[in-house]
Structure 1
């Protein structure tokens, strides 16, 4: 799966950044700001919290860039820092309550089917508790395995599996409620079912 974190970073940029050069640091920031914000937004479900997580991610990465050994792509190292910062943010309880924020829909009279499905997926994910939603996102979208998620959370592999199971169960419940006409969730369509 292709990711915004897969951007290639040249050795000159890394050398500049490791030396504390502003140009090198800015290049890294520009190359990964969207990826970091997107992951933070998905995990916190709050733009303000995502901005805080993004700032903390880059501060931590730039302070510890000398620890990056190049064994994995730079973006993957940065993604791990971002996920850790988002989980720390959630654990600290600094998350703002946002049950639903509409997805952007094109300026057409009738939204396309893809837009409706994305809209429904966003709403369904917004109804999940923060930790199960984060584990679900890390596992299904970012491609982390349970051992990696457990390490990020400072928990066991069974913790990661139980959080993922909890997220799947809640999504199934939302689907069942929708099928019965309950007002708790918007109509959910096939793209969400592929996560189950």
Structure 2
């Protein structure tokens, strides 16, 4: 009774390029290092770029807040007589003329958004810059945090994708070079192999 030999099939291991193998080429090792470097730079670079972009947005909002301050202004007319606001988050308000005292003691006037029920002589908090001009209110802390996180989450994958795309291009070049090396070797060994096979047949 003949014994049946069991053939053990070796599965391809993902880290075979790091092992000593007679089939391993120098280009295989280079490709393995490139893959490792690309994934490392993509992950760390994406995180760092996203964090830097979010921090830059946060700083810009902080600078904007530092360049303005609020003052108490008095309405010079009923808000119902002003021009209504039709867009943005201030729908339902009206543009009215307000008067306030600047830091130098001078009296300033300008247009500000006020609830449509506001009456002449009422008080309204407005924002002015260092030049004493009316400006829009700075974003709240929640808005700053939301915009900073949104920017970070947008920039991080873009940078990671760009790095990965560059690594893919380099790997394609290595694959083409490896195929060219195989073609060159086959042109040298192929005829000898065919002669050897024909002689044995």
TM bucket (normalised to shorter chain) is: under 0.3
Return the index of the structure with the highest Cα Rg: 2
TM-score normalised by length of structure 2: 0.23
Report the structure, 1 or 2, having the larger strand content.
2
